Structure formats: C-alpha cells, structure tokens
Amino acid sequence: MKRKQIVAGNWKMNLNFKEGIKLASDVAKKLPLSDVLVVLGTPAIHLQAVNEVVKNFSGIKVAAQNCHQSEKGAYTGELSLDMIESVGAEYVILGHSERREYFKEDNAVLAKKVDAVLAKGLTPIFCCGEALPIRKKKKHVAHVKKQLQDSLFHLKPAQFSKIVIAYEPIWAIGTGVTATPEQAQEMHKAIRKMIATKYSSKVAEGISILYGGSVKPANAKSLFGQADVDGGLVGGASLKAADFIQVVQGFDQ
C-alpha cells in the first residue's frame, strides 16, 4: 500500500505577514512535486491569506499550529476549530514539544484537541517524541507509546486512520542534530507496530508517519528513504523556499 507522502513546514513564530505570503507563493509556484503533499503550518494571523495563495495550486495545503479544544467561548487569545476551518486550513499541528513544554499541554488535553480536530473534519498532525535523558535511558519507545496511548488510542479505527503522526525527538528539534536514518526508522517502525497491535496491520500500514528534527536539504533524502518514514515536519528549513523545496525533493522524483 502506498502511503501519503507529506512534507509539512512549521513556521512557528517567524515571518511577518508580507514575508509569509511571499514564502507561500514562492513554494507554491514550484509545486506539485510528484505525489508529495506539502503543508504549510503558518502563524494564525497568516492562515487565511496563505490559503488564498495556495488554493490555486495543487499539492499544497495549510495547517494551524495549535487550536483550542472547546467549540467557542471565553478563552482570550485562543483559536477555535470553527475559525481555523472557516479560513480554509485543513490540517492542525498538535502536541508539538514547544506546546508541551512552554504551554504545559499534556497527553490528556491533547486527546481532547485530537477529538475536536477530527470532529470538525480536519486532520491532526500529532507530534510525539522523547527528550535526550529519556533516550539515554533507552526508554524512548516506551515514552512515545505512552503519548500515543494517552492521546490517540481511545479513537475508533476509522477515526485513527485519519491521523498523521510526526515523530520529533526533542533533542533534534532546532538543534542541528538530526536523528540518524536508522534511529528514525527504528522509532517509526516501532510506532507502526504499536498501531498494528492496537488496531490492525491494515490501519498501521495506512498511517503516514513523518520525522521531524533538523531536517534539511542535506539529510532529507536519507531520512525519507527509510521504509517507515513517510515525510517530514520541518522547522528551520521551511523558512526559505529554496531549502524547503529541496527538502521536498528528498523524495525520489
């Protein structure tokens, strides 16, 4: 079975409005590249305009970087899924390690966010991954398993099949240190096995699992060449069109 290949950019809190529109249009003009789906995770204030830019191109979609789990209400500063959907975003990045660390998002709140995203008919890009001390103790697979169990494994198979997973070892995010292709493959294979055990091999084989953590033009090809790596979630290298496109080209064309 051919899984969807996805390269998602996570702009985080970078680029003003004008810069964001320029980057989106520079990337979109180079697409589509083969069967790879490109997703731009933009700051909230850019979502609508970036979607206007990319909607005329194929192979590219827009993602919010977070959402609130409630439908609406007195949550000053937050974004509802209705707002996100109403400007054309189809993906929502959830559980990024920066959200977990700085905004204290835990597995339980992420389970609610996952439910809310799916209920709105959007696609969660669910991030998981371990910090360095956990890897040093060789507890990384167990750590990721708990993240999936607590935030995703309550889903029914049909719901779970709509999820995209991003494995992002925290020690590799924004550090310039990338997991080796073997380290990425080991974890991706383990994640797929967890899904097969919980659901079925069929469900597991259909889930796109992205790797994130200092993906750049120089290492994209070797990472994307691994059997269970279906693409990337890319921070720093998504901020320059040429670099980002080269990362997307890491898939054999």
**Footprint on this chain of ligand PEP (rule: CB under 6 A):** 10, 12, 96, 168, 173-174, 212-215, 233-237
Amino acid at 106: D
Q: How far is CA 170 from the centre of its chain?
A: 14
Query: Closest residue to ligand PEP, Cβ-based?
Result: 235
Q: Catalytic one among 98, 105, 168, 188?
A: 168
- Nearest approach, Cβ of 100 to ligand PEP (angstroms)? 12
C-beta of 109 vs 184, nearer to ligand PEP? 184
Shortest reach from residue 234's CB to ligand PEP, in Å: 5
Distance CA 238, CA 11 (A): 7
Give the tokens for residue 141. 């697979």
Find the shortest distance in angstroms from Cβ 197 to ligand PEP: 27
Alpha-carbon distance 253 to 248, whole Å?
Answer: 10
Nearer to ligand PEP, 97 or 185 (CB): 97
Going by DSSP bridges, is the β-strand pair 6-10/123-128 parallel, antiparallel, or unpaired?
A: unpaired
Establish whether 46 is a catalytic residue: no
Q: How far is the CB of 70 from ligand PEP (least distance, A)?
A: 25
Of the pair 80, 208, the CB lying nearest ligand PEP is at 208
Look up 96 and say whether it is catalytic: yes
Distance (Å, whole) CA 231 – CA 225: 9
Measured from the CB of residue 9, what is the shortest distance to ligand PEP in angstroms? 9
> Tokens 């993602």 belong to which residue?
63
CB of 212 to ligand PEP, least distance (A): 4
Work out the number of other CB atoms within 10 angstroms of the CB of residue 138: 8
- One of 46, 96, 140, 188 is an active-site residue; which one? 96
Catalytic positions, written as ranges = 96, 168
